Structure 1
Amino acid sequence: MSEADVTAAPSRVGVAPQRPLRSRAFRWFFAGRSISMIGSFMSPVALAFGVLELTDSAASLSAVLAAALVPMVATMLIGGGIADRYRRDTVLRLTSLGAGLSQSGVAVLLLTDRHPALLLPLSALNGVFQGLTTPALRGILSNLTVGRGLQQASSLLASAGNTARIVGPTTAGLLTASVGGGWAIAVDAASFVLAAACFARISLPDLPPRAKGAPTMLAEMREGWTYFRSQRWIWSVTLAFAVFNATNMGFWQILGPVIANDTIGPTGWGVVLSARGVGALLASVVLVKVRLTRRPMRPALSSMALATLPLILLGAGADLPWLVATFVAGVAAEFFTVVWETVNNTHIPERLLSRVGAHDEFWSSLSFPLGQLVAPALAAAVGTAAVALTGGGVAAAAMLLTACVPALQRIEIGK
C-alpha cells in the first residue's frame, strides 16, 4: 500500500456511492459549483484586458493579479482549519456570498473607469474569500459521495468546470471587446451569489459538540501540518506544482495576455483559453465512464509535462498552434486533476482532508504570485521568448522527475 493511512468513513448526506447525481445534496453542490465556475472563468479575461485597456502596462496587470493571489495563499491554511472544524456547506455559502460582494465592487470600478490602484483592496478581499473557499471544496466531496462515486463525482464536477472553461473565456472576450470587462466581472459577482443560494440547500449533519479540553484550532492546524509533511506522496507533488505554478502558470498568465493584446486581441485570447477547456471537457467526460488504472499517479504526473506546451510554443513564436497546444494541455491537466482528487479522497482521512488540502494548495500556490511579479522584469531583461521557453522546460522537468518518486508509484486506488 502507500504511506497513507485510512480511517473509518465519515458521515454523509444522501450518499449514492455509484450514482452521485441521485444524492440531493450533491445535486445542489453540483449546481452551485457549475454556476460559480462560469463566472470565474470569465473573470481572468475581463480583468486582464480591463486593466490593460486602462494602463497598457504588464506591471499594473501583474500587481492587480498578485493583489488577489497573495491574500488567497495567505489565508489557505486557516481556511483548512475552519473547513475541518465547522460544517463545510456553511463555510461555502458564506465565502461565496462574500466573493460575490467583493466582485461587485470590482465591476463597479471597471464600469466607471476608475484608476486600477483602487482595484487592489477589492482584489485582495476577493483573494481572502478564495483562500477560505478552496480547502472547503477539497474536503466536501467526501461528505457527499464515497467509493466508486468519488471518481464519478470528480469527473462530473470537472465536466461542468470545463464547460464553463469553454464558454466563460470566449463570452468574456466578446463582452470585453464590445461593452467592456466590467460587465463580465458583474456576471462573475452574480454567479457567486447564486452559488451561495444553492449551497444553502445542502444540509450536512451538525458536527458533534466539542468536548471540554478539545484541541484548539491551532492545535488542529498543527496536526494537519504533521500529517502533510509525513506523507512523501503528498508533499512531493506539492513541491512539483510549486515549480510548475511559478515557471509555467505564472509566466503564462502575464506574458500571454500582453502578447495577445498586440496580436489576436481579447476575443482571440478568449478562444485560445477556451481550446484548453475543450480538451479538459473531453477528458473529464471520458473519465466519468472509464475507470482509472490501479496505480494512476505516474501516468498522471507524466502527462502534466504536456501542459507546458502552450508556454513553450509562446516562446517559439507560434500562433495558430496555440489552439492545439492548449487543447492538449487541457486534456493532460484534467486527467491529473481527477486522479489527484480521487487519490486524496481515498487515502487521506476525511477529518483531515481540508487541512491537508490547504497545505497542498498553500505550498504549491506560494510561488504563483512570484512568477507573475517577476515575469515582466525577466521579459524586459532577456526577452519574452527566452523566459517562456525556459519556464516551460523547467516546469516539464519538475513533473517528469516527480513521476519517478517511488512513494507515488505505489499509490493505489480501489477497483
Structure 2
Amino acid sequence: MPEADAPGNRDPAPSQNDATPPSRTSLASGQPLRSPAFRWFLAGWSISMVGSAMSPVALAFGVLEVADSAAWLSAVLTASMVPMIATMILGGGIADRYRRDTVLRLSSLGAGISQAAVAVLLLTHQHPALLLPLSAFNGVFQALTTPALRGIVPQLASGRGIQQANSLLASARNTTRMVGPTVAGLLTVSVGGGWAIAADAASFLLAAVCFARISLPGLPPRAKDGPTMLGELRQGWDYFSSKPWIWSVTLAFAVFNVGNMGIWQILGPVIADDTIGADGWGLVLSARGAGSLLATMVMVKLTVRRPMVPALSSMTLAAVPLILLGTGANTFWLATAAFAAGLAAEFFTVVWSTVWHIHIPERLSSRVSAYDEFGSFASIPVGQLSAPLLAAAFGAAAVAVTGGAVMAAAMLLPLLLPSLRRIELNTPTADPER
C-alpha cells in the first residue's frame, strides 16, 4: 500500500523536491482542479470506477449462476489475484522507469478488452473454466495499473493539494461504490451479471481515452551506466525494508486482506445468497460506499496533525460487517455496519495515501508502492483458496466471525511503533523514524 542513487543508500529524509518535483505540476498548491491534466485523470479514474464498482457483485453472482459453486468462484478470483501479485513488483519498476500516463492508458486498454471477453462468456453461459485465463490477464493489467496510480498523484498535485487530490479521487470512487453495487445487483437478478461486466469493460476503454489526454513531461535521458531495472527494484526494496512505519502497515493488511478479500468476497455472496439475496448484498455494498463517500467529503477539508493512530484504530470497524454476516444479521444491520466500515476504511485510505505522497520520494513512489501492494496482497490467494475449505470444516458463519476478530486485531498492532504514531501530515521533510 506503500531511489536511492545506489543500492543501499536509503535516503532517510527526502526533501520537499523529492516529494513534489515542481517541474511536473502546473497547478497552484492546494487547488488540483486548476490542472487540466488532473481533471482528465479524475475523469478517467471516475469512469473506470463506475464499471469496477459493479464488477464484484456481477462477477460473483454471474459465476454462481453458471456453476452454483463457491469453489469455482474462489478459482476465478484467485486466477486474477495470483498473476497480479506475481507481476506487481515488475509493475512498480515499469511505472517508475516509464511515463505513468502511458502505462495507465495501455493497461486500461488491455483491461477493457479482457473484461469484454469475460462479459461475452457470462452472457453466453459458458463454463467458468474459460474465465480463468481472462481473469489472469485482468490480474496482470491491474498489477501494471496500481503502482502507476499510486505514483502519478504527486505529478498532478502539490503541497496541500495532495490531500485534496486524494480526497477528490476517493470521493469519485466512493460515489460509484455507493451506486454501482446496487445497480449490479438489480441487473444480475433481472438480465444477468454479464451486462454489468460489459459496462466495466466499456469504462476501462473510456478511461484509456481520458488518460490519453494527460501529457506528463518526458523523463530525463538515462545514463549509459545507470542502474538496470533489477537495480532500480533493489533500490525500492532497500527503501521499503528500511522503514518500519511502512512495512508494519503492509504486514497488518496482509492479515486483514485474508479476511476482507478471502472470506468476505468468497463466503459473503454465498451466505448472502441463502439469506439476504443478491439485491440485499448489493445494498450492503452500496451502504459501505455511502460511508466511504461521506469520509472523503470530510477529508477534503479536515487535516489531522498526527493521523495514523485514529486511522488505524478506526479500521477495526471494517471488521464488524464480517462478524455480523456470520451471526445472521439482517440487511438493515449489515448495511449499517457496512456504512460505518466504509467511513473508517476511506478515512484510513486518504490518510495513508497523503502520508505516502508526502514522506516518500516521488522518484521511488511506484517501486516502494509495488512492494507494499505485493506484501499486502500476497496472502489473498491463501484466503480465497482456504475459505471454502474452512467453511466446509467449521461452517461459513464460524469462519466469518473468527476472521472478523482477527482482522480487527491486526489493525491495532502497528500502533506499537512510536515512529508510526509520530507521523505528521504537515511536515513533509520530517523523518518519521527519528
What TM-score do you get using the length of structure 1 for normalisation? 0.98
Which residue is 2:314 aligned to?
Answer: 303
Shift of 1:15: 2.2
Match of 1:289 in 2: 301
- 2:290 pairs with one of 278, 297, 306: 278
Letter of the 2:312 counterpart: L
Which of the numbers 172, 176, 195 marks the counterpart of 1:183? 195
Q: CA deviation at 1:46?
A: 0.5
AA partner of residue 326 (structure 2): G
Q: CA deviation at 1:279?
A: 0.2
Give per-residue Cα distances to partners, 1:201-246, cap 9 Å, x unaligned.
Answer: 0000000111111110110001001100000100000000000001
The question of whether the paired residues in 2 share the 8 Å contact of 1:13 and 1:205 is answered with no
Residues 1:193 and 2:205 are matched in the alignment: yes
Paired residue for 2:6?
Answer: none
Q: Which amino acid aligns with 1:262?
A: D
- 1:130 equivalenced with 2:142 (yes/no): yes
Tell me how far 1:37 sits from its aligned partner. 0.5
* Structure 2 residue identity aligned to 1:317: G
What SS does the corresponding residue of 2:416 show, helix, strand or coil? coil
Query: 2:401 aligned to 380, 384, 389, which one?
Result: 389
Corresponding residue for 2:3?
Answer: none
Instruction: Give yes or no for contact 1:106–1:185 (8 Å, CA) kept in 2.
Output: yes
Which residue of 2 is the match for residue 90 of structure 1? Answer: 102
Q: Which amino acid aligns with 1:156?
A: L
Equivalence for 1:346:
358
Three-state SS of the structure 2 residue aligned to 1:358 is helix
Task: Figure out how many residues of one structure are paired with residues of the other and give that number.
Answer: 412
Shift of 1:4: 4.7
Checking the alignment, whether the CA contact within 8 Å between 2:25 and 2:158 is kept in structure 1 is no
2:57 equivalent to 1:45: yes
Structure 1 residue 247 displacement after superposition: 2.6
Question: For residue 117 of structure 1, what is the aligned residue in structure 2?
Answer: 129
Determine if the alignment matches structure 1 residue 58 to structure 2 residue 90.
Answer: no
Preserved contact between residue 46 and residue 185 of structure 1 (Cα < 8 Å): yes
- Residue number in structure 1 paired with 2:264: 252
Instruction: Tell me how large the CA RMSD over aligned residues is.
Output: 1.1
From 8, 14, 25, give the equivalent of 1:6.
14
Q: CA–CA distance in 2 between the matches of 1:386 and 1:190?
A: 39
Instruction: Give the 3-state SS of the residue equivalent to 2:25 in structure 1.
Output: coil
- Of 316, 325, 344 in structure 2, the residue corresponding to residue 314 of structure 1 is 325
Question: How far apart, in 2, do the equivalents of 1:4 and 1:286 lie?
Answer: 32
Match of 1:410 in 2: 422
Task: Tell me which of 372, 378, 383 is aligned to 2:390.
Answer: 378
Q: Does residue 225 of structure 1 match 2:237?
A: yes
**Structure 2 unaligned runs (5+)?**
1-10, 428-434
> Residue in 1 aligned with 2:246?
234
Q: Which residue of 2 aligns with 1:327?
A: 339
How far apart are the structure 1 equivalents of 2:115 and 2:415? 38
SS of 2:24 mapped into structure 1: coil
1:288-307, CA deviations, whole angstroms, 9 ceiling, x for partnerless residues?
1222x111111101111110
| C-alpha contact (below 8 Å) 1:4/1:348 kept by paired residues | no
Q: Supply the distance in 2 between the matched residues of 1:94 and 1:285 (Cα, whole angstroms).
A: 31
8 Å Cα contact 1:298/1:404 also seen in 2: no
173, 176, 181: which one pairs with 1:161? 173
How far 1:248 sits from its partner (Å)? 3.4
Q: In structure 1, how many angstroms separate the alpha carbons of the residues matched to 2:301 and 2:260?
A: 31
Q: Does 1:171 align with 2:183?
A: yes
Q: Deviations over 1:46-74 (max 9, x none)?
A: 01000001111000000001111111111
Helix, strand or coil: the match of 1:100? helix
Three-state SS of the structure 1 residue aligned to 2:300 is: helix
Distance 1:152 1:106 in 2: 35
Q: Secondary structure at the match of 1:403?
A: helix
Paired AA for residue 261 in structure 1: D
Letter in 1 for 2:98: Y
Between 16-25 and 347-356, the greater mean CA deviation after superposition: 16-25
Whether the 8 Å contact between 1:299 and 1:403 is mirrored in structure 2 is no
Give the partner amino acid of 1:122: L
* Deviant stretches of 4+, over 2 Å: 13-16
Q: Please give the residue correspondences for 1:361-376 in structure 2 after superposition, counting only pairs within 5 Å.
A: 361-376=373-388
**For residue 385 of structure 1, what is the amino acid of its counterpart?**
A
Which amino acid in 2 is paired with 1:111?
L
CA contact (8 A) 2:271 2:396 kept: no
Question: SS of 1:17's equivalent?
Answer: coil
